[in-house]
Structure 1
Amino acid sequence: MKLEGVKVLDLSLFLPGPMLTLMMADHGADVIKVEPWEEGDPARHIGYRKNGHTVWFRNANRGKRSLRLNLKAEADKARFMTLAAEADVVVEAFRPGVADRLGVGYDAIAAINPGVVYVSISAFGQTGPNRDRPAHDLAVEALAGVVALNEGQDGKPAMPHMPVADALASLTALSGVLMALLRRRDTGKGDFLDVAMFDSLIAWTPNVTGRIFATGEPHVVKDERSFGGNAMYNLYETADDQWVSLGGAEPKFARALLSGLGREDLVIYATYPPGPQQEPLRAFLREAFKQKTRAEWEIWFEGRDVCFAPVKNLKEAFEDPHLVARGMLAHDAEGSEIVGTPLLFRDEPGRPDPTVPPVNDDTIGWR
């Protein structure tokens, strides 16, 4: 596997850091998860449980080993530093400054292991006015302007459906770690990587910053191309109170759809700028989609060159044969669901390990 032989020491909790090291573990890295002495990772206790573990903890930490340490105790810190001296990667997600105060920051570890790649994941980064501001995903999305873009039909911001700041920080950190490991082959030296959830989220706004950068004005959300202003990139209610989506705004998709509905005269509206000028087409589609159930529309769209999809709930999504065929859902020996790896190499595929690490305070060394 691609990361076989890579040693990862993971101090992080909750989601961004654990998902980073999970992806590394799936591809051969030896990950030792260092958990707080008292109760371990809080994700062990949050949400629904199945077969003795929370679903969250199982699917963010399977395939790792766990070591319970109290880093304020000298003996435990010494055990940590012994492992850190041989680690290729160290991950932490404390508030800025905490790792240094505990004596396990980058400078302390690099002094005994110059080749270490050390990544700190935090809400707002190790520098800047918001450095010490407490936040989880929602607050980061709010300050980044993303919650305001998630405007509902009532014109009010809605709760984000996914922790995108967590997710993007995790993927940013993975990219940076792999870059640093690649560079280390030539220099023998590691590096310190400062990853902010806020920065990671802002970096993914090129497709939605047009109005503010071009005009200096904030978005009118309901009129914007990606947020409901485009008739062919929108959500529509069906006769059975379900929803469907149109997800391709190119004129060829509009022609394919509207010719099938007998309204080719409306294609012109799909070529207009998003917003009020497209309202006649949006109004027609709102009325048209109310004439059939979601299932009936799925049948109607079969074979048509239109970006169409039913709006499924997450349970329906995990029952999709395509998801299973891609290896994104498996089961362990007890029948617990295991979410797969999205990194699908042809020659060295990942091997997701369903084993959930127990909270362990015995001596653990590198394999």
Structure 2
Amino acid sequence: MDKTVQKQFKRVVVTGGAGFIGANYVHYALSAHPDWQIVVLDKLTYAGNLENLEAVLHRIEFIQGDIANPADARKALQGADAVLNFAAESHVDRSLLDARAFVRTNIEGTLVLLEAARQAGVRRFLQVSTDEVYGDLSGTDRHSLETDPFRPRSPYAASKAGAEHLVLAYGISHGLDVVITRGSNTYGPYQYPEKIIPLFITNALEDKPLPIYGDGSAVRDYMHALDHAAGIDLVLHRGAAGEAYNLGAREQVSGVQVAEAILAALGKPATLKKFVADRPGHDYRYSVDPSKAEALGWVRRYSFSRGLAETIEWYVQNPSWWQRVRAKKEHQSLMQTWYGQR
């Protein structure tokens, strides 16, 4: 049978579905596949927020649980056709402070899910990964290909690379139908304000400095969350078993450019830019070649300028969401620990 024939699903499990990219995918999937039964499994850590799903909670089944807990995984996967694993510790800065949670969730949690999927007879397992597994491309003009070797340079990236190896091993060893997406830096609504774009937006709205690492020249390929969701959904349905697919926006934007665009959009002064000490082992360029996903039919809707404008507007229109997050002691502690002495 042709491995790229479009697959059909009825009951789909989205782990980490109350987080940023996961929640955006849930909203996308409910629109694209209104007949789906969607089960969201989320531990509701600091980055998980049921408010992200408030408008659709009546249309999904929500289970609060940990992907690293076998009982929680078995419960969520019962009767599932497909699993999309968004659940992850995902912030590089946090992984530099304490890598243990990253190993537990990103590696051990993925292993638990894979075993539960195998036992439940799940028809497809999609692992949401990152372009950071490829490492730093600074000093070159090339774009990472799916066949490139892994060179992760942070505990976060290393944990995601390890998870990928487990996913592919389960495909080979146990015949589990697995696919992987490697997404570039993503932005949009519901993003926890420790990442650069929501941090800069919310700081600017409160007339606080925008902390820019080093000289601000590090570039990322910023992709809107709904474009990311569409790419993941296409790979779920049409990706070839055992294959990985890069998802990127084909845009290169530096940290300084992000800060300047946000300040200009909000009418804030350039004096809010604050250059801070670089983080250890900072990768200065990521860039993937998404041709393989594009060949499946993936088409992006958002330019960076349009996506950033809509994202800024979302944060402007939803102050109660991000103010509640920023008011939490955990968030304030991280900001002080990480940026206070920089």
Is the shorter-chain TM-score for this pair beyond 0.5, marking a shared fold? no
TM-score (norm 2): 0.39
Task: Give TM-score scaled by structure 1 length.
Answer: 0.37
Look at both structures and tell me which one has the larger radius of gyration over its CA atoms.
1
